């Protein structure tokens, strides 16, 4: 039968026949009739099965497959800096890309998005890799920060093709493995669903950390239907009941118990459980810098993040219940004074941190939320007879905490009301707290004095109302965090507080706020130098030869940044702080970013960290 001028061999050629017929002008009805007759005549079923297999299989390229999986996982946008070979597939598939002005910021925004959402929504970024790994090398600083701070961010990059590693002295795989929880290399295109499942399992289960996926050939193809992808749930582990019982025995037997809460509480979504346990056992609470906000800071049992009052409670405690903290005494966290003489109960999701720096008397391994629930239930069960489940007697704990806080914070509260000029930076922070709705806003600091000052006094009432960071203090991260916060919660005010050094790092990326219409306010504590580095009332300074930069008398940064299109103001009088902040936040509502330059004095005074073996 040759109705259209070519033979029809079997039903598997039906689509080819139709296309050829159309091209040659043959009547389509004859072709369709021919196909129908052949299909009906196929009594053995082999050809029909072949046709069904052909029509149900779906060949897809790796980049498109990855992007469709990201969409299945609920990823709404991806931060990037050109070029990565997955980016064009993102565009074709309609996934918005937030293009930053360098690779490090592409990582930083995705990293911050994961942190701000406590891993419930995963930040994803792409950057250039492969043989010409210039982007990857620049992104390394962002990766190191995400790894050190334990942020579950997904980074997709180009992999080095097989046989091409000799073209570069830079060992991509080795470098990336040092800054990731897991590094995946897609050696075969058909493994795309497998490696994506693995990636999201790592991102949603166990200890948080960045995951890197290297794609050596984004155009390679595979059958999408051979291994259909299904979104990954993530898994959590509950603690051993025997460990819970021992921990509660120690906690209830303590004379001066102290709860030390880390960021694991936020990632577990366990703030309510932490509050309930603290109230039940009537124990004071301190938090790490990264966990600031895990416990409401207007609560009578909240001691603080840093400062004399925190040192007092760490010193006097006999039992420390650490939850969701590594207890690693770095530059921006506390050591445990006289640790060998205290009973440390370490509740952590990962055995990696148990007995790492201090002797762990008792460990409770499991998800922070499940652990706190188990601890609270055990305490309630034991107290149900003696106290009707009401917990430990209140005593004077709340009053003692208030007294310690009032005494330690008195000098900061005084300068928060200062009328001096240049403006004291604490006056800016105090007025910022007055202007913001602390239950519907986001604030973050920069590396340096703004971190140290804000974490001493800024009241944080909700988890991630304030983002503390600092295990690796990469300058400029505050801008990335404020952008991520605005992407995560568009209706919340988003404020980045920076000094001179941080502003210098973020200048190149300010354009992004304008292009993306992100209503973020940058608060600049402008004082012409790196406070505390050089000499002043505090002494000689720790870096007296490298501290001076052009100050407000020499450069008007409000004009510089205003030329970009920001709403800008330069404020030199304390009485103008609140009006300027209100104007900026109002303008933010229209999607226009704002920059406020507050002419401040250098005032490197803040609460200290307790060092190892120190009081």
For residue 549, give both structure tokens: 């930069």
Domain range enclosing 529: 416-599
Element (H, E) at 400: helix 397-415
524 to each of 347, 499, 506, 527, 597, how far by Cα in Å?
A: 39, 6, 12, 9, 5
Residue 426 near residue 409 (C-beta atoms within 8 A): no
592 to each of 497, 565, 584, how far by Cα in Å?
A: 17, 8, 9
Going by their DSSP bridges, the two strands 182-185 and 211-215 should be labelled as parallel
The last residue of one of the domains, among 191, 223, 255, is: 223
For residue 77, give both structure tokens: 């946008």
**Cis-peptide into 164, omega within 30 deg:** no
Question: DSSP for 509-575?
Answer: GHHHHHHHT---EEEEEE-SB-TTTS-BTTBS-S-TTS-B---TTT--HHHHHHTTT-EEEEE-SGG
> In the 8-state DSSP scheme, what is residue 156?
E
Q: How many CB atoms lie within 10 A of CB 535?
A: 11
Q: So what's the pLDDT on residue 13? A: 42
Residue 447 near residue 501 (C-beta atoms within 8 A): yes
> Are 441 and 536 contained in the same domain?
yes
> Are 81 and 219 contained in the same domain?
yes
Q: Which residue, among 320, 324, 323, 285, has the nearest Cα to 305 in the 3D structure?
A: 285
Q: So what's the pLDDT on residue 388? A: 58
Question: DSSP for 579-598?
Answer: HHHHHHHHHHTTT--EEEEE
The last residue of one of the domains, among 178, 196, 223, is: 223
Residue 239 near residue 366 (C-beta atoms within 8 A): yes
DSSP E strands, 267-375: 285-287, 302-304, 319-323, 343-348, 362-365
**Residue 422 domain-assigned (yes or no):** yes
Query: Distance between CA 547 and CA 551 in Å, rounded?
Result: 11
Query: Distance between CA 247 and CA 102 in Å, rounded?
Result: 48
> Are 90 and 201 contained in the same domain?
yes
> Are 38 and 172 contained in the same domain?
no
> Are 323 and 184 contained in the same domain?
no
For residue 418, with 0-12 CB atoms within 10 Å meaning exposed, 13-18 middle and 19 or more buried, which class applies?
middle
For residue 488, give both structure tokens: 């995560």
Query: Distance between CA 601 and CA 527 in Å, rounded?
Result: 6
The last residue of one of the domains, among 158, 193, 223, is: 223
Element (H, E) at 127: strand 124-127
Tens of pLDDT, residues 235-265: 999 999 999 999 999 999 999 999 999 999 9
> Are 142 and 77 contained in the same domain?
yes
CATH value at residue 467: 3.40.50.970
**Residue 562 domain-assigned (yes or no):** yes
For residue 566, give both structure tokens: 């920001």
201 to each of 207, 208, 397, 423, how far by Cα in Å?
A: 11, 11, 42, 49
Q: Which residue, among 131, 73, 123, 71, has the nearest Cα to 100 in the 3D structure?
A: 123
**Residue 75 domain-assigned (yes or no):** yes
> Are 209 and 249 contained in the same domain?
no
For residue 96, give both structure tokens: 């918005």
Query: Distance between CA 337 and CA 328 in Å, rounded?
Result: 13
Tens of pLDDT, residues 57-108: 799 999 999 999 999 999 999 999 999 999 999 999 999 999 999 999 999 9
Query: Distance between CA 340 and CA 355 in Å, rounded?
Result: 12
Query: Sheet of 182-185: strands edge to edge?
Result: 97-99, 78-80, 124-127, 154-158, 211-215, 182-185
**Residue 231 domain-assigned (yes or no):** no
**Residue 123 domain-assigned (yes or no):** yes
Q: So what's the pLDDT on residue 14? A: 40
**Residue 6 domain-assigned (yes or no):** no
CATH value at residue 393: 3.40.50.1220
Residues 6+ apart with CB under 8 A from 289: 305, 306, 332, 333, 451, 455, 468, 469, 470
Q: So what's the pLDDT on residue 9? A: 35
Q: So what's the pLDDT on residue 389? A: 55
CB under 8 Å, gap of 24 or more: what pairs does 483-486 form?
A: 483/98, 483/109, 483/112, 483/512, 483/513, 483/516, 483/518, 483/520, 484/109, 484/110, 484/111, 484/112, 484/113, 484/115, 484/116, 484/123, 485/112, 485/116, 485/442, 485/444, 486/442, 486/518, 486/519, 486/520
For residue 596, with 0-12 CB atoms within 10 Å meaning exposed, 13-18 middle and 19 or more buried, which class applies?
buried
Low-confidence ranges of the chain (pLDDT < 70): 1-55, 331, 385-392, 394, 612-615
> Are 48 and 75 contained in the same domain?
no
Element (H, E) at 68: helix 62-72
Q: So what's the pLDDT on residue 390? A: 57
**Residue 100 domain-assigned (yes or no):** yes
Domain count for the chain, please give it.
Answer: 4
> Are 192 and 283 contained in the same domain?
no
Would you say the pTM of this structure is higher than 0.85? Answer: yes
**Residue 607 domain-assigned (yes or no):** no
> Are 122 and 211 contained in the same domain?
yes
> Are 170 and 153 contained in the same domain?
yes
> Are 393 and 421 contained in the same domain?
no
For residue 345, give both structure tokens: 């109960």
Residue 122 near residue 75 (C-beta atoms within 8 A): yes
Query: Distance between CA 549 and CA 528 in Å, rounded?
Result: 6
Helix/strand/coil for 260: strand
Q: So what's the pLDDT on residue 24? A: 42
């Amino acid at each position: 039968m040759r109705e259209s001028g070519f033979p029809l061999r079997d039903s598997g050629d039906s689509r080819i026949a139709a296309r050829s017929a159309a091209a040659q002008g043959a009547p389509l009805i004859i072709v369709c009739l021919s196909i129908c007759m052949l299909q009906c005549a196929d009594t053995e079923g082999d050809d029909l099965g072949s046709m069904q297999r052909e029509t149900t299989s779906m060949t897809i390229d790796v980049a498109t497959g990855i992007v469709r999986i990201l969409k299945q996982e609920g990823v709404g946008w991806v931060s990037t800096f050109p070029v990565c070979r997955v980016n064009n597939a993102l565009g074709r598939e309609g996934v918005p890309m937030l293009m930053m002005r360098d690779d490090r910021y592409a990582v930083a925004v995705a990293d911050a998005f994961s942190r701000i959402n406590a891993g419930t929504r995963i930040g994803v970024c792409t950057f250039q890799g492969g043989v010409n790994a210039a982007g990857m090398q620049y992104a390394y600083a962002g990766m190191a920060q995400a790894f050190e701070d334990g942020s579950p961010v997904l980074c997709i990059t180009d992999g080095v093709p097989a046989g091409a590693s000799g073209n570069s002295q830079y060992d991509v795989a080795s470098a990336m493995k040092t800054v990731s929880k897991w590094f995946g290399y897609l050696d075969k295109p058909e493994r795309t669903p497998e490696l994506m499942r693995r990636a999201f399992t790592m991102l949603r289960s166990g200890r948080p950390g960045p995951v890197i996926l290297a794609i050596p050939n984004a155009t390679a193809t595979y059958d999408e239907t051979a291994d259909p992808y299904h979104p990954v749930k993530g898994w959590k582990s509950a603690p051993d009941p025997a460990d819970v019982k021992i921990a509660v025995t120690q906690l209830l037997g303590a004379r001066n118990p102290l709860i030390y809460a880390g960021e694991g509480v936020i990632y577990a979504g366990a703030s309510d459980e932490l509050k309930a346990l603290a109230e039940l056992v009537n124990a004071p609470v301190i938090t790490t810098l990264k966990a600031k906000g895990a416990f409401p800071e207007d609560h009578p049992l909240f001691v603080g993040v840093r400062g004399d009052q925190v040192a007092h409670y760490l010193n006097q405690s006999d039992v420390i219940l650490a939850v969701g903290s590594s207890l690693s005494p770095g530059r921006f966290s506390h050591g445990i004074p006289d640790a060998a003489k205290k009973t440390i109960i370490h509740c952590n999701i990962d055995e990696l941190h148990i007995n790492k720096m201090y002797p762990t008397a008792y460990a409770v391994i499991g998800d922070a939320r499940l652990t706190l629930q188990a601890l609270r239930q055990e305490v309630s069960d034991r107290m149900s007879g003696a106290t009707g489940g009401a917990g430990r007697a209140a005593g004077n704990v709340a009053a003692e905490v208030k007294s310690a806080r009032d005494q330690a914070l008195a000098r900061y509260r005084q300068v928060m009301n200062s009328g001096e000029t240049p403006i004291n930076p604490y006056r800016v922070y105090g007025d910022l707290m007055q202007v913001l709705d602390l239950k519907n806003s986001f604030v973050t600091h920069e590396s340096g004095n703004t971190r140290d000052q804000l974490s001493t006094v800024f009241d944080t009432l909700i988890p991630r109302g304030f983002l503390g960071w600092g295990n690796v203090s990469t300058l400029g991260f505050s801008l990335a965090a404020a952008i991520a916060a605005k992407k995560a919660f568009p209706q919340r005010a988003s404020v980045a507080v920076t000094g001179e050094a941080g502003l210098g790092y973020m200048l190149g990326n300010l354009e992004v706020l304008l292009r993306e219409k992100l209503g973020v306010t940058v608060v600049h504590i402008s004082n012409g130098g790196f406070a505390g580095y050089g000499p002043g009332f505090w002494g000689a300074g720790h870096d007296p030869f490298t501290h001076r930069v052009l100050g407000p008398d020499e450069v008007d940064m409000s004009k510089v940044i205003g030329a970009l299109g920001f709403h800008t103001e330069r404020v030199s009088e304390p009485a103008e702080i609140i009006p300027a902040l209100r104007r900026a936040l109002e303008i933010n509502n229209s999607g226009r970013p704002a920059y406020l330059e507050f002419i401040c004095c250098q005032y490197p005074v803040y609460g200290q960290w307790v060092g190892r073996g120190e009081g």
